[in-house]
């Protein structure tokens, strides 16, 4: 099979599986064999290697984000329909870290919390859940607020739903980094804002105890909670949980650590 044909088949398969953007590898034409079951999730994202990892400063202007795998737009976690505010995310990796960027449209950016491991989900926040083994009973949770306050913890979820959930916020991810840039203010609810962007660097050693390896695959989900003063909170997800909460691990999507840089040039002047 030609390289072009192999890439076309991979692209078609991943599109059918509801994936994020898949970029072709810089390969010599050999067809890569993917682990069985990769596509047995509602969402799949092949995370490309960042030749130059992004600087974690909250500004999404590095080349890494131009090349990164685009996860798409988060949707209502119950219905799967678009939210009233737009939220997109991208991911890339360098084997030592999984890098995540969120871009959140928001006319009223706010959070009252200022200390690590406060209940950030009671205000506005973006979240990443990671279940590297796919056991769906224990997984890691990372949250970042518009004030760049972090909540990280280990979740024990024996029933696979909100009921009976046991979060352990004493677990901290050493080396975790985040930064936020607000287009407006995060403390003044009387002004009109434009939005906020977030960058995270999640060390793979925190999650699996080692560097990531080619074709490692983790079950994950990406979330946002948007709260304004005129309507009920919006719960947005990459892979909708179909229930009014995020802790539904059977509905997580999957990311795959793709061992190649993309070959499609990033857009210029955007």
Burial class for 134, CB neighbours closer than 10 Å (0-12, 13-18, 19+): middle
Q: How far apart are CA 211 and CA 127, in angstroms?
A: 22
pLDDT band of residue 268 (cuts 50, 70, 90) is very low
Mean pLDDT across 127-136:
96
Per-residue pLDDT of 228-255, as tens digits, reads 887 889 999 999 999 999 999 999 999 9
Asked if residue 78 is part of any domain, the answer here is yes
At residue 37, the pLDDT reads 66
Residue 15 has pLDDT above 60, yes or no: no
Residue with tokens 């009109």, as numbered in its chain: 192
Average pLDDT, the chain: 86
pLDDT digits (tens, 9 = 90+) for 218-233: 999 999 999 988 788 9
**Percent of the chain, pLDDT > 90?**
74
Q: What CATH code is carried by the domain that includes residue 231? A: 2.60.40.1190
Assigned domain for 265 exists: no
On whether residue 269 sits in a domain, the answer given is no
Distance of CA 163 to the CA centre of its chain: 24
Tell me whether residue 198 is in a domain: yes
pLDDT tens profile 88-112: 999 999 999 999 999 999 999 999 9
User: What range defines the domain where residue 142 resides?
Assistant: 3-26+39-257
If one counts the domains in the chain, the total is 1
Tokens 């990280």 map to which residue?
152
CB 265 within 8 A of CB 63: no
Beta bridge partners of 49: 93
Assess if residue 31 is contained within a domain: no
Is 33 inside a domain boundary? no
């Amino acid at each position: 099979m030609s390289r072009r044909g192999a890439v076309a088949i991979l692209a078609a398969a991943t599109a059918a599986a509801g994936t994020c953007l898949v970029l072709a590898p810089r390969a010599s034409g050999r067809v890569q064999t993917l682990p069985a079951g990769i596509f047995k999730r509602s969402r799949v994202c092949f995370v490309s290697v960042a030749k130059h990892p992004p600087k974690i400063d909250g500004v999404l202007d590095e080349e890494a984000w131009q090349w990164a795998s685009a996860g798409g737009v988060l949707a209502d976690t119950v219905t799967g329909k678009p939210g009233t505010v737009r939220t997109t995310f991208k991911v890339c990796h360098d084997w030592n870290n999984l890098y995540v960027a969120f871009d959140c449209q928001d006319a009223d950016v706010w959070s009252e919390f200022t200390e690590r491991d406060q209940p950030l989900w009671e205000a506005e926040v973006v979240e990443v859940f990671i279940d590297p083994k796919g056991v769906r009973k224990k997984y890691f949770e990372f949250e970042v607020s518009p004030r760049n306050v972090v909540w990280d913890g280990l979740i024990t979820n024996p029933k696979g739903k909100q009921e009976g959930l046991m979060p352990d916020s004493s677990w901290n991810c050493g080396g975790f980094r985040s930064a936020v840039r607000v287009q407006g203010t995060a403390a003044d609810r009387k002004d009109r804002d434009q939005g906020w962007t977030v960058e995270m660097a999640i060390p793979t050693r925190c999650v699996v105890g080692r560097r990531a390896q080619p074709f490692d695959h983790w079950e994950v989900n990406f979330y946002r909670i948007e709260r304004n003063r005129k309507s009920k909170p919006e719960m947005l997800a990459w892979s909708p949980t179909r229930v009014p909460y995020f802790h539904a691990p059977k509905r997580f999507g999957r990311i795959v650590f793709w061992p190649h840089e993309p070959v499609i040039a990033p857009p210029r002047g955007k």
